[in-house]
Structure 1
Amino acid sequence: MMKKHIVFCLPYAGGASSLYIKWRHHVHSDVELYPLEYAGRGKRFSEPFYSSMDEATFDLFHRIANEISPGGYSFFGHSMGGLIAYELCRRMMKEGYPPPSHLFLSGVKAPDQPRGKSIHHLPNEEFKTEIQALNGTPQEVIHHPEIFDIFAPILRADFKLIEEYQLIEKEWHISTPITGIYGTEDDVDQEELARWSAFTTGEFHLEGYPGGHFFIHNHHQEIVRRMCERVGVRYVVKR
């Protein structure tokens, strides 16, 4: 019997595992898309947020260590999720597990690049303005204070994680092949995604799709197709 290849999917800042559910309609039964849930949201809403990247990867490592399939596994991460995917890959290797077959890193700068201005500490109205400019938060969240008050702590915690992230220079190379994915109208552009090539001794691929930072929502079917090709499993649209 063929063993399933698992693709662990990591959400962007403010996102939950549910954003990847519809992606499952585009994979064959010999691959499993496994969305990961961060502490503090979704089914883990009551848990405290991560205080550091090390805490995040420690938690996620222990959640997936027993799920690794003989058919292999890969990571897909968008924006903050891509950074966590890279560090989680390093954690897996550090703990003596086989490295993932592939890393799909979408809309995220390489670890040695500046993360941009800090916004997680801003007063509510200024923070809301910065979040709105990213065009990734639904308007009903932005314009309804009671809803924003629920989401703001999640967003602040995630942006703190990104903004305070620092690459630890020791053993930053990985052997896992990387596919860098970017939106043609995103500020995180082709050149910045190409910098990931320096972080792997394996193959590196670069692919672009029309759209801004959240291009994955409009192109998830094409992205899943490419992921399946890269890890050597079949692609199918389920009816």
Structure 2
Amino acid sequence: FGHCGSALPSYEASVQLMRNGGPLPSHLFISSQVAPHEGPYGRFLELDDQELAVEIELLIHKMGGKALPDIVELNTGIMRSDLEANRSYIQSCPETLPFPITAIGWNRDKEVNPSLLGGWKEYGQASFKVLDGDHHDFLQAPMELLSTIAEAMRRYI
């Protein structure tokens, strides 16, 4: 499972395992991320550190926490590194995976509209699911997300 920027390393790790004969995942779950050949994508890529800090503070407050300056600063640095990795990950030609992909969108996602996930069909057997929520609702592990993953994984039990 990879959400937003972490979907790219999830995909790339799958590719590297496939290329090197490693154990393959049974299924790849992608959430709120355009296909690699359609990126990099997203407004966060254009934000400076101060703007990123504001976004982090908003998320911390949304989740019921208190935005302590040291935590905001630490997470701004982490987010900046993630964004630079996202920006530099260029995939010109999709590499097909030999296992299913489920691309998950969120109906109130203002960062990555679910309609932008269609490019994942070029990476193998892809299915698409739109769940109720916004860009960060995956953090609360809503039952609809857990059910989507559990339902797809039942065939491997």
- Take 2:88 and 2:79, find their aligned partners in 1: how far apart are those partners? 14
- Hey, what's the Cα distance between the residues in 1 that align with 2:147 and 2:156? 9
For 1:88, the aligned partner's letter is: A
Q: Which runs of 5+ in 1 are unaligned?
A: 1-75
Between structures 1 and 2, the one with greater helix share: 2
Deviations, residues 46-92 of structure 1 (Å, cap 9, x unaligned): xxxxxxxxxxxxxxxxxxxxxxxxxxxxxx11111211111111010
What is the CA-CA distance between 1:178 and the residue it aligns to?
Answer: 0.8
Which residue number in structure 2 is paired with residue 221 of structure 1? 143
Pick one of 6, 11, 14 that aligns with 1:86: 11
Unaligned runs of 5+ in 2: none
Aligned structure 1 segments of 4 or more residues deviating by more than 4 angstroms: none
Residues in 2 aligned to 1:178 and 1:234: alpha-carbon distance in whole angstroms: 14
User: Shift of residue 221 of structure 1?
Assistant: 2.4
In the alignment, which residue of structure 2 is the partner of 1:154? 78
Residue 51 of structure 2 corresponds to residue 100 of structure 1: no
SS at match of 1:167: coil
1:1-239 alignment runs, 5 A limit: 76-114=1-39, 115-117=41-43, 118-119=45-46, 122=48, 124-129=49-54, 131-132=55-56, 137-139=59-61, 140-141=66-67, 144-167=68-91, 169=93, 172-186=95-109, 187-200=111-124, 202=125, 204-232=126-154
Q: Write out per-residue CA displacement over residues 91-127 of structure 1, whole angstroms, 9 at most, x where no aligned residue.
A: 100111243211111111111113235346x2x4233
Distance apart, 1:128 and its partner CA? 2.4
Of residues 174-183 and 211-220 in structure 1, the stretch that sits farther from structure 2 once superposed is 211-220
1:119-155: per-residue Cα shift (whole Å, max 9, x none)?
46x2x423324x359x5x30333xx333322222111
TM-score, scaled to structure 2:
0.80
SS in 2 for 1:156: helix
Task: Count how many residue pairs are aligned between Structure 1 and Structure 2.
Answer: 150
Residues 224 and 127 of structure 1, relative CA distance in 2, 3 Å threshold: closer
Structure 1 SS opposite 2:11: helix
Which is greater in Rg? 1
- CA drift of 1:233 comes to 5.9
Q: CA deviation at 1:218?
A: 4.4
**Higher RCO, Cα 8 Å, sep 6+:** 2
Aligned counterparts of 2:74 and 2:139: Cα–Cα separation in 1: 23
